[in-house]
Structure 1
Amino acid sequence: MKTRRFIPLAFKNTPFRTRRFSSRARRKNAGIVGYVKFLQRSYRRKDARPEWGILDRKRYILWAALCALLLSSAAALAIPRFGGKDINGKEHHLSDYKGKMVVVNFWATWCPPCREELPELAMFHDNHKDKDAVVLGVNFEQISKSALKAFLDDQMIDFPVLPMFPAQGTALGRIVALPTSYIVSPDQSSIKVHVGPLTNEDLMRYLKSFQ
């Protein structure tokens, strides 16, 4: 079975007591499952509190998972205003594509798994842009527009790509790894987050989940 890869942007080692319940701990792992696994690993550390019993630890993990689930569900309902100018100067906004699934893909030219998924994204965009889905790329790195344009021409990428410096941040959320994709539902009522490279099979599964 092929292992999915992604490139971490900022992983920091911090003491157990300072990272408990912190956003830093959540940023260190992608998704709710990863966060719960992180908590489980933390309990096996020698600096975890020995006076806590097994039952208390299980309740703690369950409570943390429930909180993370509620937070993610609440965030999914609030679709932020996101958009900007592509490499050719044309404006693109999520609202322009209402009625279609939008794949907002954050990537960089230096990221091997990002380059690996670009042909899949391009093929999906070409097959669905006139029907039910589009891809909106976001180049997330410090690179000149001329160098980016040359890269896109060389890779024959024709879906819109918005240049964005990491220091700018993003209205969709904090990017902790590349590639990261935000899958916006056609009615723009919810967003799903996919960390790691996407395949055509993944994209079709997301598309069917909204139908």
Structure 2
Amino acid sequence: MASLMVPGLVLAAGPDIKLQDVEGREHNVNEYIGQGKWTVVAAWSADCPICRRDIHHMTFFHDEHRKKNATVLGLSVDGFGDRAKARGFIEDQSLNFPNLIGGPKDASRLSGAMFIGTPTYYFFSPDGRFMTQRIGPVTQQQAEQIIRDLEKPKKL
């Protein structure tokens, strides 16, 4: 699994990116990030076989943590023109977390790093700081471990 860390990149209360949900309602990403819980943004595409195979891990993660310490936000990079495909994916996969629709450029804006492909998982601290990203599949247990590792005090 590839990873990229941009230590110290601070985004006040999450990035300011406006996107639409599958119904066409506009939302700002910072409505979800920086709200006192860890946020995992799962960037996916309806045509991504790895996403289709593994996104269920994020539904389990969201179920387990949403009332405690973490939440998930989905980001379809299919573009709003393909929202019907995105809606079908959300329904087929029984995604239980909010999902917004954007494109690869929107995914890049989350972290300031080049978007490589789907799936990509962006981890934000409870105060909205981008902490790390993982490219490729991430299980519930791996997401939990990433957060535990990020919570550990850094040794000087």
**Which residue pairs with 1:87 in the alignment?**
22
1:73 equivalent to 2:73? Answer no
What is the one-letter code of the residue matched to 1:194?
Answer: R
**Which residue pairs with 2:120 in the alignment?**
180
Question: Structure 1 residues 103 and 169 mapped into 2: Cα distance closer, same or farther (>3 Å)?
Answer: closer
Deviation at 1:92? 4.5
**Which residue pairs with 1:161 in the alignment?**
99
Measured against aligned partners, the alpha-carbon deviations of 1:70-101 in whole angstroms (never above 9, x if no partner) come to xx334x23453245332232625335442100
More helix per residue: 1 or 2? 1
**Given that residues 3 and 132 in structure 2 are in contact (C-alpha distance below 8 angstroms), is that contact kept between their aligned partners in structure 1?**
no
**Which residue pairs with 1:137 in the alignment?**
74
Larger radius of gyration: 1
2:127 aligned counterpart, secondary structure: coil
Quote the Cα distance in structure 2 between the aligned partners of 1:197 and 1:140.
16
Quote the Cα distance in structure 2 between the aligned partners of 1:135 and 1:156.
14
Segments of 4+ moved more than 4 angstroms:
none
Question: Structure 1 residues 83 and 183 mapped into 2: Cα distance closer, same or farther (>3 Å)?
Answer: farther
**Given that residues 100 and 133 in structure 1 are in contact (C-alpha distance below 8 angstroms), is that contact kept between their aligned partners in structure 2?**
yes
The partner residue of 1:202 within 137, 142, 147 is 142
More strand per residue: 1 or 2? 2
The partner residue of 1:151 within 64, 89, 99 is 89
Identity %: 27
**Given that residues 50 and 137 in structure 2 are in contact (C-alpha distance below 8 angstroms), is that contact kept between their aligned partners in structure 1?**
yes
Q: Which runs of 5+ in 2 are unaligned?
A: none
**Which residue pairs with 1:51 in the alignment?**
none
Deviation at 1:206? 2.2
Deviation at 1:107? 1.1
Structure 1 residues 96-107: aligned runs within 5 Å: 96-97=32-33, 98-107=35-44
Measured against aligned partners, the alpha-carbon deviations of 1:16-70 in whole angstroms (never above 9, x if no partner) come to xxxxxxxxxxxxxx557xxxxxxxxxxxxxxxxxxxxxxxxxxxxxxxxxxxx8x
TM-score normalised by structure 1 residue count: 0.59
